[in-house]
């Protein structure tokens, strides 16, 4: 019997320590996963002396970098920066000054540029006091003084240094003989009848944010500072011209007066908020809306004067940057505005480096809001730097390998080659513009959500006002860049600049048609755009592929066999059942089968399975095939279930009966009376009211309860639905959601109106206009129906000469209601699907 080895007590260190390598360890090395470095937004605030800027940077969660770091996402400087520094910035960086903004921020430059614009458009620039620039206009001023003496009039003038600030060197005069002729000064007519508050003169500090100059974007902060004089105002005369505490409203001047009141309450003291001032105006029966409108117009018109200079300087600093790309510059400006006794605003000066000192609590409250909301509007993201580096790498590779999307046209090319080349260039131009439009839409959506107390004043929503501003902008370019304005003028006049996303998509589609014709291909009929994928999990994508193949299988067999085979195939593959949205229609209407409904997966596949109404399990079938379901199923069928082709199969062949169809439809239109039109419209309304949106796996009642639950808890769901509809879905996917309703409409109308082509029905053309309006401005049209704000879809009828009857309007209202319910169902499904990825997947097995 073999003896067992004796036990041995090991003393000291074990012979197999941590450094000993086991035999299998030489081939299996343990992989150590590196932790992903957390991305952060960095800010360089070495160039500012204001503590409030650093506090806001901390509040935003940005990390302050060392003074010498020039790679920060955000760079903040109190003073203007050199153009060379702006030229060296990467596309992911932001700096708080524009080049060329000094053209309106220096007093002499502002006066010179305003004088030029006044000559071109005198009626639009009446908010600037008459100004003379010394020494160039010294003689003109003296001539003006002589004219006043002849008329025995006397005026007061305010004299300022050409490049002064903080009230230094300002004086009032009534006799111009004593003014030096060679000093660099600004002389303005003094506004002798200002609007007074408690007997004191005051001015307003309005904060303006410019986020981009290409295109121009201006935001006005709906708060600010009211800065009051510290002595009761008396109209100027020889005895009080030197009393600057009475005539000047600069804080830097009045804070030295012993009567300056530092009060923490908002309705007392020498410095107050504009928020309180607007309440004061309202309490005294003044028009607050007109006040803000006049301020906004003054600001926009002033920045229009600066735009040619700023845009030219910016493009010189950033050559090769395409229009509409992310701006590396932004600027917070301080407009000093004086109100006369009629509440007309007058522009005094503009500060490109407004003080962010916080001597009082009101300073802290107002200026913190100005900075915090401005940084939120800029949308500085942690991924900006990484994306910029990846883009630079891709551009370098493209240049290295000479990868150009359009081949160069060789000399002596044929007319066909030239036409093809022009088409390709046109398509590239449209695609670039489409990308810019979509980028601008995303920007606007972010701005609308993070505007805070800012309001966008350019571009305005009012089209008439926008046209007026664009006219002034064209004059400004012609005035200030007369020799270089041709390229800018072409950009302003480019018709693509005013086009919406849908218009550009239509032009691209037309280019595709022209290209097919040029290549000799058969032009495919353009029906409603087919539905494709919406946001979903990978499992749903796999199911989509399976069910898409099933649809062809079903069409080649009888209805009963197809049901059994489909079930058997489903059990063999052990797939989850397809998610469906059903627009179930009531059994009361006999023209449509009881089981008819729209069957679409949430991924909305292009191929849609269809079944005969005699199916044993009463499965819903595609709305596109409800017409073909009534036809004989014994004949051979096409396997193609594309929406356009499936509809074309129901019509007689074009070569055989096109003339007959046109004559029949024409005769039907002629014979149909107004009473018949109303009768058919009422039948359509009856069917629309019976339509229901069914959630997958739920009954009609349960689906209705689900929609009502979302509406009852709208405060919770509102932001989530808005985020899903307006942000996560692009315009193509938004169209697919509404196509769920639109496809059913296209099916039932020919049956009700007894026409072969739905396009012949006037009601359908009205519906199309409603659908387009709901998709207007990247889905904003439908969203306005939820929040009862903005432009209503019904406004399309007020601007059209076509008369819409009350019955037709009711049909449109029901259509909009179905679209709203459809969006809520899609949103709810998408929410549940996201939740299911964590382990709880909804049961769709009972969907029908």
Mean per-residue pLDDT over the chain, rounded: 75
DSSP state, 194?
B
User: Which of 196-210, 295-309, 615-629 has the lowest average pLDDT?
Assistant: 615-629
pLDDT value at residue 519: 78
Cβ atoms within 10 Å of 270's Cβ, excluding its own: 22
**H helical segments located in 760-838:** 762-774, 776-787, 795-798, 806-836
Name the pairing type of β-strands 216-228 and 185-189.
Answer: unpaired
pLDDT over 60 at 596, yes or no: no
- Angle, helices 674-690/806-836, rounded to nearest 10 degrees: 20
Q: In the predicted model, is pLDDT for residue 588 greater than 60?
A: no
Q: Is the pLDDT at 118 greater than 90, yes or no? A: yes
Output DSSP code: residue 614.
Answer: T
More confident residue, 527 or 534: 527
Q: Residue 821 above 60 pLDDT?
A: yes
User: Confidence class of residue 649 from pLDDT cuts 50, 70 and 90?
Assistant: very low
d(C-alpha 575, C-alpha 545), whole Å? 11
The pLDDT of residue 715: 81
Q: For position 785, what pLDDT does the model report? A: 86
Instruction: For residue 111, give the 3-state DSSP assignment.
Output: helix
Q: What pLDDT score was predicted for residue 472?
A: 93
Selected residue with higher pLDDT from 468 and 323: 468
- Among 296-305, 405-414, 513-522, 537-546, the range of highest mean pLDDT: 296-305
Three-class SS of residue 203? strand
What is the structure's pLDDT at 212? 93
Higher pLDDT, 128 or 563: 128
Q: How confident is the model at residue 699 (pLDDT cuts 50, 70, 90)?
A: confident
Residue 320 near residue 330, CB atoms below 8 Å = no
Q: Identify which of 781, 748, 773 has the alpha carbon closest to the alpha carbon of residue 763.
A: 748
Contact 118, 472 (CB under 8 A): no
Which stretch of DSSP H or E encloses residue 138? helix 138-150
**Where are the chain's structural domains?**
101-293+330-361, 415-515, 674-832
What pLDDT sits at residue 35? 56
| DSSP of 20-54 | PPPGGGGT-PPPPPPPPPPP--EEEEEE---HHHH
Q: Which of 154-168, 378-392, 654-668, 701-715 has the lowest mean pLDDT?
A: 654-668
Name the pLDDT band for 57 (thresholds 50, 70, 90): very high
> What is the distance between the alpha carbons of residues 59 and 57, in angstroms, rounded to a whole number?
5
Residues above pLDDT 90, as percent of the chain: 27
The pairs formed by 110-113 with CB atoms below 8 angstroms and a separation of 24 or more are 110/349, 110/350, 111/186, 113/305, 113/306, 113/309, 113/480
Instruction: State mean pLDDT over 403-422.
Output: 72
Mean pLDDT confidence for 762-780: 84
DSSP codes joined into one string, 217-244? EEEEEEEEEEEE-SS------TTTTT-H
Most trustworthy range by pLDDT among 99-103, 325-329, 479-483: 99-103
Question: Model confidence over 241-268: pLDDT tens digits?
Answer: 888 888 888 888 888 888 888 877 777 8
Q: Lowest-pLDDT range, 57-61, 140-144, 516-520, 537-541?
A: 537-541
**Whole-number Cα distances in Å, 153 to 132, 146, 679:** 19, 10, 79
pLDDT at 844 over 90: no
* Strands ordered across the beta sheet of 94-95: 63-64, 42-47, 74-77, 94-95
Going by C-alpha positions, the residue among 501, 356, 385 that lies closest to residue 435 is: 501
pLDDT score for 508? 81
pLDDT band at residue 123, thresholds of 50, 70 and 90?
A: very high
Stated length of the chain: 848
CA distance 462 to 790: 12
Q: Which of 191-200, 586-595, 596-605, 636-645 has the highest mean pLDDT?
A: 191-200
Quote the pLDDT of residue 551.
36
pLDDT, position 579: 36
Q: 202-213 and 331-339: which strand pairing?
A: antiparallel
CATH code for 101-293+330-361?
3.30.470
Q: Which of 164, 125, 163 is nearest to 305 (CA)?
A: 125
pLDDT for 485: 58
- Position 489 scores a pLDDT of 63
Q: Confidence band (pLDDT; 50, 70, 90) for 788?
A: low
Contacts of 292-299 with C-beta under 8 Å, sequence gap 24+, read: 292/222, 294/343, 294/344, 294/345, 295/204, 295/206, 295/220, 295/337, 295/345, 296/220, 296/455, 296/457, 298/127, 298/335, 298/337, 298/345, 298/347, 299/206, 299/208, 299/218, 299/220, 299/335, 299/457
CA–CA gap between residue 846 and residue 592 (Å, rounded):
23
The DSSP-derived string for 492-552 is: HH-GGGG--HHHHHHHHHHHHHHHHHHTTPPPPP--SPPP---S--HHHHHHHHHHHHHHH
- pLDDT band at residue 37 using 50, 70 and 90 as cut-offs: low
Least confident of 200-209, 447-456, 666-675, 758-767: 666-675
Confidence of residue 701 (pLDDT cuts 50, 70, 90): confident
> What's the pLDDT score for residue 666?
47
Q: 56-65, 67-76, 403-412: which range is least confident on average?
A: 403-412
pLDDT-wise least confident of 309-313, 376-380, 616-620 = 616-620
166 pLDDT more than 80: no
Q: What pLDDT score does 515 carry? A: 78
- Beta-carbon-side half-sphere exposure of residue 445 (alpha carbons within 13 Å): 21
């Amino acid at each position: 019997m073999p003896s067992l080895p004796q036990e041995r007590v090991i003393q000291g260190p074990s012979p197999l320590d941590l450094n000993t390598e086991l035999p299998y360890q030489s081939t299996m090395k343990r992989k150590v996963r590196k932790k992903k470095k957390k991305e952060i937004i960095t800010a360089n605030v070495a160039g500012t002396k204001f503590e409030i800027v650093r506090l806001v940077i901390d509040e935003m969660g940005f990390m302050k970098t060392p003074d010498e770091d020039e790679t920060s996402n955000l760079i903040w400087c109190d003073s203007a920066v050199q153009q060379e520094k702006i030229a060296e910035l990467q596309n992911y960086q932001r700096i708080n000054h524009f080049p060329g903004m000094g053209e309106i921020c220096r007093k002499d430059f502002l006066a010179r540029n305003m004088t030029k614009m006044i000559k071109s458009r005198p009626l639009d620039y009446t908010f600037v006091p008459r100004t003379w620039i010394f020494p160039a206009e010294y003689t003109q001023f003296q001539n003006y003084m002589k004219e006043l003496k002849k008329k025995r009039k006397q005026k007061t003038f305010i004299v300022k240094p050409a490049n002064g600030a903080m009230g230094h060197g300002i004086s009032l005069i009534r006799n111009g003989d004593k003014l030096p002729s060679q000093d660099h000064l600004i002389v303005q007519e003094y506004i002798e009848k200002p609007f007074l508050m408690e007997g004191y003169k005051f001015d307003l500090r309005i904060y303006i944010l410019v986020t981009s100059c290409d295109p121009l974007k201006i935001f006005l902060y709906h708060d600010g500072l009211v800065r009051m004089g510290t002595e009761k105002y008396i109209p100027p005369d020889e005895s009080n011209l030197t009393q600057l505490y009475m005539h000047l409203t600069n804080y830097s001047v009045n804070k030295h007066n012993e009567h300056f009141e530092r009060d923490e309450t908002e309705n007392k003291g020498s410095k107050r908020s504009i928020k309180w001032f607007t309440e004061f105006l309202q309490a005294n029966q003044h028009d607050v809306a007109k006040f803000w409108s006049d301020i906004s117009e003054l600001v926009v018109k002033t920045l229009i004067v600066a735009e040619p200079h700023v845009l030219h300087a910016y493009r010189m600093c950033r050559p090769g940057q395409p229009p509409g790309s992310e701006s590396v510059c932004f600027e917070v400006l301080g407009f000093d505005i004086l109100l006369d006794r009629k509440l007309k605003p007058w522009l005094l000066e503009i500060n490109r480096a407004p003080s962010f000192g916080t001597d009082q609590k009101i300073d802290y409250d107002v200026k913190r809001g100005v900075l915090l909301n401005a940084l939120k509007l800029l949308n500085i993201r942690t991924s900006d730097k990484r994306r910029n580096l990846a883009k630079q790498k891709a551009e370098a590779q493209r240049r290295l390998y000479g990868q150009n999307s359009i081949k160069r046209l060789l000399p002596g090319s044929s007319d066909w080659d030239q036409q093809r080349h022009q088409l390709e260039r046109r398509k590239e131009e449209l695609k670039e513009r489409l990308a810019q439009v979509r980028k601008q839409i995303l920007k606007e959506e972010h701005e609308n959500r993070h505007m805070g107390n800012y309001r966008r004043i350019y571009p305005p929503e009012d089209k008439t006002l926008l046209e007026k501003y664009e006219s002034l902008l064209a004059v400004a370019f012609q005035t200030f860049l007369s020799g270089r304005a041709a390229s800018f003028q072409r950009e302003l006049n480019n018709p693509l600049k005013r086009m919406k996303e849908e218009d550009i998509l239509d032009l691209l589609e037309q280019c595709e048609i022209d290209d097919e014709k040029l290549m000799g291909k058969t032009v495919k009929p353009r029906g409603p755009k087919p539905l494709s994928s919406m946001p979903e999990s990978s499992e749903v994508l796999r199911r989509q592929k399976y069910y898409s193949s099933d649809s062809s299988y079903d069409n080649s067999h009888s209805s009963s066999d197809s049901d059994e085979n489909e079930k058997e195939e489903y059990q063999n593959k052990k797939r989850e059942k397809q998610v469906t949205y059903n627009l179930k229609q009531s059994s009361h209407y006999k023209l449509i089968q009881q089981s008819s409904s729209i069957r679409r997966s949430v991924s909305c596949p292009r191929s849609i399975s269809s079944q005969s109404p005699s199916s044993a399990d009463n499965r819903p079938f595609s709305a596109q095939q409800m017409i073909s379901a009534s036809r004989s199923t014994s004949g051979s069928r096409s396997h193609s279930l594309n929406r356009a082709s499936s509809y074309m199969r129901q019509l007689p062949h074009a070569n055989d009966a096109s003339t007959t169809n046109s004559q029949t439809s024409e005769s039907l239109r002629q014979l149909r009376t107004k009473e018949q039109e109303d009768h058919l419209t009422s039948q359509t309304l009856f069917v629309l009211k019976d339509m229901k949106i069914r959630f997958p796996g739920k009954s009609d009642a349960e689906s209705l309860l689900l929609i009502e639950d979302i509406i009852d808890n709208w405060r919770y769901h509102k932001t989530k639905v808005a985020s899903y509809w307006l942000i996560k879905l692009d315009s193509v996917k938004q169209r697919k959601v509404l196509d769920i309703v639109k496809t059913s409409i296209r099916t039932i109308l020919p049956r009700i109106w007894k026409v072969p082509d739905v396009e012949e029905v006037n009601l359908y053309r009205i519906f199309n206009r409603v659908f387009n309006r709901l998709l207007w401005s990247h889905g904003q049209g439908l969203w306005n129906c939820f929040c009862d704000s903005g432009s209503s879809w019904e406004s399309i009828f007020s601007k059209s000469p076509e008369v819409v009857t009350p019955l037709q309007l009711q049909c449109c209202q029901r259509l909009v209601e179905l679209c709203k319910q459809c969006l809520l169902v899609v949103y709810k499904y998408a929410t549940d699907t996201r939740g299911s990825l964590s382990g709880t997947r909804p049961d769709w097995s009972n969907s029908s």
